[in-house]
Amino acid sequence: MAMVGLFWIGEDSVYVGAEPAGAASGVRLSRDGVEAPGVGEGRFWTWDEVVRIETHDVPVRSGVRRLASMAFDAALVAVTGDGDLPPAFSVEVATAEESVRVDVLAAVAGGIYLPSEYELSTTLLQRLAGGGAEIADLLAWGRDHAAEGTPPREEREALLRKWAGA
């Protein structure tokens, strides 16, 4: 799997944030629609039903501040021996009838996203919900490249720009 912006992309799935494990909640995007496994009995909406996908409380910092936060966290773990899960943020999936917020874990190393990747990711989410972008493009990239791991920052941003039409 590979991380590109807010997305965790595999060969056959795309998650907003990290792929959930066990009973953890998450948001999975597929050709058929949006799924929230782990929320109650699990929820599913077709793309035709979804009118908006938004993120809330995503940890975003500039490159320098991100590195400083990661260094502090690493030092804290080294001293205390206590590592935490990556930070959580929420994804709101809205239809004409309802709005559901789902907590997800950050997929990026250190749990903090760069502003450029965050902005491009939210633009892509808006376009996916509005029908202006296709999840098939992310899935095709995942089939061809996810096994190689997370690409460098410049390539991630170029992919997000391409997918978002930015």
How far is residue 137's CA from residue 118's CA, in Å, rounded to a whole number?
Answer: 19
How far is residue 128's CA from residue 164's CA, in Å, rounded to a whole number?
Answer: 8
Q: Which backbone phi and psi does 76 adopt, to 5 degrees?
A: -65, -45
**Radius of gyration from C-alpha coordinates of the chain:** 16
Q: What is the pLDDT of residue 83?
A: 52
pLDDT tens, residue by residue, 30-68: 999 999 987 666 899 999 999 999 999 999 975 443 344
How far is residue 90's CA from residue 27's CA, in Å, rounded to a whole number?
Answer: 10
Task: Provide the 3-class DSSP secondary structure of residue 27.
Answer: strand
Q: What is the pLDDT of residue 84?
A: 58
pLDDT tens, residue by residue, 112-153: 899 999 999 999 999 999 999 999 999 999 999 999 999 999
Mean pLDDT of 67-93: 57
